[in-house]
Copies of this chain bind each other. A is one copy, B any other.
Amino acid sequence: MKKIAVILCGSGFKDGSEIRESVAVLLALSRHGASVQCFAPDKPQADVINALTEEPMVGETRNMLVEAGRIARGAISPLSQLQVSQFDAVIIPGGFGVAKNLCTFATEGSKGKVLPELKTILEKFYSEKKPIGAVCIAPAVLALAFTEKQLELTVGPKSEASDEIEKLGHKHRVTHPSQCYVDTKNRIVSTAAYMCEAPLHELFEGIERLTEQVLALIP
């Protein structure tokens, strides 16, 4: 049975992991009979955003691990406990929280930094030739983590985000949300998901394709 780590960072499109994308990844892994373990940093979110007003909930703090536990139904471990040797691949769902909690892409674009413990983990997956899947804005984390490699990634249409990714020396590939893009040289698979306006079932198709390709790249 293939063992896949899924990295979350809260629960919600504006301040954490995008709920629907995260569920789509878990669904696809379940369908393909893969074993899953979720992880999230045991740290406060960068912010807490009211999903209706889209304004910060001032004075409120939420922990990424505890909130991601809502998606994971409690079956989640601190990111610091992720042993790369125990997994065949890793997938990072999207959500604006990914660009704020797992790296500083939201505020610093191509000058952003990746959360150090995550950078170390991603480098190990890469160096052990284990595939990495990234959904929605999560390819930006990979773009910041692997500035020495020329990655091929999609974040959907050409956008400010794709421009920042290209500034780092990577190639952006325009895709439809029902598709994924496979960078076979670097064993990185990405899909646009909510970087596009599209019906929910099309995003699920794209994430299903991504999951299939990640599983297929496992040596």
**Contacts from A to B (Cβ < 8 Å):** 11-14, 16, 19-20, 23-24, 26-27, 30-31, 50-52, 54, 65-67, 69-74, 76, 194, 199-201, 204
Contact = CB atoms under 8 A, between A and B. Distances in A.
A27 B201 contact: yes
Chain copies in the assembly? Answer: 2
B23 A50 contact: no
Given A12-B70, A51-B69, 13 more contacts: A11-B70, A13-B73, A19-B23, A20-B27, A23-B23, A27-B201, A27-B204, A31-B201, A51-B66, A51-B73, A52-B69, A52-B74, A73-B194
Contacts of A73: 13, 20, 51, 194
A74 B51 CA distance: 5
Given A11-B12, A19-B23, A23-B19, A51 B70 contact: yes
B30 A20 contact: no
B201 A30 contact: yes
- When A and B form their complex, which 9 residue pairs have the shortest distance between CB atoms, in order from nearest? A51-B69, A12-B70, A30-B200, A31-B201, A30-B201, A23-B23, A51-B70, A52-B69, A30-B199
A199 B1 CA distance: 15
A201 B208 CA distance: 12
Contacts of A23: 19-20, 23-24
A27 B207 CA distance: 13
Nearest to A13: B73
Most-contacted residue by chain B among A24, A30, A194 (CB, 10 A): A30
A57 to B, nearest CB: 9
A166 to B, nearest CB: 28
A114 to B, nearest CB: 25
